[in-house]
Amino acid sequence: MRKRYVSIWFKFLKTDYYQRRQPALKETPFVLTTKQHGRILVSAVSEKAYREGVTEGMLLSDARIIVPGIQAIDDEPDLDNQLLHSLAEWCIRFTPQVSVYLPDTLILDATGCPHLWGNESNYLKEIIHRLRAFGYHIYASMSDTIGASWALSHYTGNRLIPPRQQREALYPLPVEALRIDHTIAERLNQLGLRTIAGLTAISPSALKRRFGDALLTRLQQAFGEKEEWLQYVVPLSPYIERLPCMDPIVTRTGIEIALERVLKQLCTRLQQENNGLRQCIFKAYRTDGKTLQVEIGTHRPSNNTAHLIKLFDPKLSAIEPGLGIELFVLEALLVEPLNPSTQKLWEASSIDNNRLAELVDRLSARPGAHITRYLPDEHHWPERAIKPASALDEQPLTNWQLNRHLPLCLFNTPLAIAVSAPIPDYPPMNFRLNGQLHEIIKADGPKRIEKEWWIEEGEHRDYYVVEDKNGSRYWVFRSGHYEKGNAQWFLHGEFP
């Protein structure tokens, strides 16, 4: 399939943005300014100021001579980059492949997308109409190459060049349209080479020898003789499905139908490849520019459409259609090969693995629910001796230490306790936690656990199992030595 690219030039990007935030600015010429070497320069001009002769790079004092009373606003650093990235994410409704070309242009890889709008003409008109409706002054062109599209949008306005005809469209344009360095353009103009057509009369070897690789590369890229690569704002995912809507979707039923359709398409592909998804995100692009999304995860790879719909169902209420949704995108963030159905979930179980995994998925999808399976980990420190499993059927790398006498309830972070008149190298007689006094009548210990010095430095711990007069048993420890004066007591767990 022949590549097709769209270049969108935002001629007054930053000032249009300020006018959107402050509509009163539409009625007056204004500029954005920045300080440079003690001088105040114009960094961006509004459309009204531009029509009266104010240009970028001009001194603010000169701009005020041309337009008395012109309003000046301090420019925000990196504003153009932030705006373009935000607009690029919005343009994903037209193609999943959008790239930022600083300081004021977006490049869309439109290959295979225009047919969703009927034809390329409708596609380009829709892009122009939607962005101008937001208040941006834009020019958009479409051709076979990135260089040609950029040149045409910046030097001819809105243009749709049929396939394989970019060369003829570029001939009358000035050499500056090739995105070359300003000094190279000046040298070309001094030699009388003012248009791209004039460059074609010179052999490539002569151009390279006289002006370097940059000029020849840009010329070949614009003509389509050399490939040019883009870095997309949203990295391409191999597992993504899109569903544009001819009419905006405004009902929950419509959202459910869209989800089912894209899920079926994705699961069909996964089934063919014997893969299943572990993480999946469903995005809805609204007509007002907002993007809403919900995400699910599974404990085992799954390509069961009915099961995945059940996981999304309780979360779809977060997608508020507003004035309408015009694009749905489903992306599998994590895909894994399906395990053999005969593989056991863990050591001894006759339960159907898939059914159990799907049950855990449904329970985890409920609001406030969180189900985690833990595996043993090779650490001396108690709170590090376990780790969450990434999947229900993940196998442990070490065995559980059954010879350890650990509490059933182990706190992630030990709780500091106050101990009155402790005796060195003995368990405490009592301790106080949250204002409640626990009088100890029995104790067993100590059991010393040294700090894992290869991870972090610190004091050792002396653990005791203690029982208070109410019959409750606790796991407490002393951190550090008495003789060093830095000993502290903590509660780390409770026994049943």
Q: Tens digits of per-residue pLDDT, 255-309? A: 999 999 999 999 999 999 999 999 999 999 998 888 999 999 888 888 999 999 9
pLDDT at 340: 57
Of 17-21, 390-394, 453-457, highest mean pLDDT = 17-21
pLDDT at 408: 80
What domains, with CATH codes, occur in the chain?
1-236 (3.30.70.270), 241-364 (3.30.1490.100), 409-494 (no CATH)
pLDDT at 346: 41
Q: Tens digits of per-residue pLDDT, 82-121? A: 999 999 999 999 998 999 999 999 999 999 999 989 999 9
Residue 443 has pLDDT above 60, yes or no: yes
Per-residue pLDDT band at 453 (split at 50, 70, 90):
confident
Residue found under tokens 């159907």: 352
pLDDT at 402: 65
Which string of b and e fits 202-219 if b means at least 16 CB within 10 Å?
eeeeebeeebeeebbbbb
Which residues, listed in sequence order, are joined to residue 475 by a DSSP beta bridge? 465, 493
Residue 345 has pLDDT above 70, yes or no: no
Would you tell me the crossing angle of helices 79-90 and 13-21 to the nearest 10 degrees? 80
Q: Tens digits of per-residue pLDDT, 41-61? A: 999 999 999 999 999 999 999
Listed range (9-23, 232-246, 287-301, 481-495) with the worst mean pLDDT? 481-495
Q: How far apart are CA 22 and CA 14, in angstroms?
A: 12
State pTM to two decimals: 0.67
3-state per-residue secondary structure call for 17-77: HHHHHCHHHHHCCEEEEEEECCEEEEEEECHHHHHCCCCCCCEHHHHHHHCCCCEEEECCC
pLDDT at 400: 73
Q: How far apart are CA 300 and CA 111, in angstroms?
A: 35
Residue 421 has pLDDT above 70, yes or no: no
Among candidate residues 490, 496, 493, 488, the one with its CA nearest the CA of residue 474: 493
> Per-residue pLDDT averaged across 408-414, rounded?
84
pLDDT at 404: 67
> Per-residue pLDDT averaged across 129-144, rounded?
96
- The answer to whether 105 and 138 have CB atoms below 8 angstroms apart is no
pLDDT at 446: 86
Per-residue pLDDT band at 388 (split at 50, 70, 90):
confident
274: left (phi over 0), alpha (psi -120 to 50) or beta: left
DSSP state letter for 129? H
Would you tell me the crossing angle of helices 213-223 and 146-155 to the nearest 10 degrees? 90
Q: Tens digits of per-residue pLDDT, 231-250? A: 999 877 789 999 988 889 99
Residue 69 has pLDDT above 70, yes or no: yes
Task: Look over the chain and give the mean of its residue pLDDT values, rounded to a whole number.
Answer: 88
> Per-residue pLDDT averaged across 358-362, rounded?
72
pLDDT at 347: 43
> Per-residue pLDDT averaged across 394-400, rounded?
74
pLDDT at 422: 67
- The answer to whether 454 and 378 have CB atoms below 8 angstroms apart is no
Tell me the HSE value of 99 on the side-chain side, using a 13 A CA sphere.
Answer: 16
Percentage of the chain lying above the pLDDT 70 cut: 93
Residue 171 has pLDDT above 90, yes or no: yes
Among candidate residues 249, 214, 426, the one with its CA nearest the CA of residue 326: 249
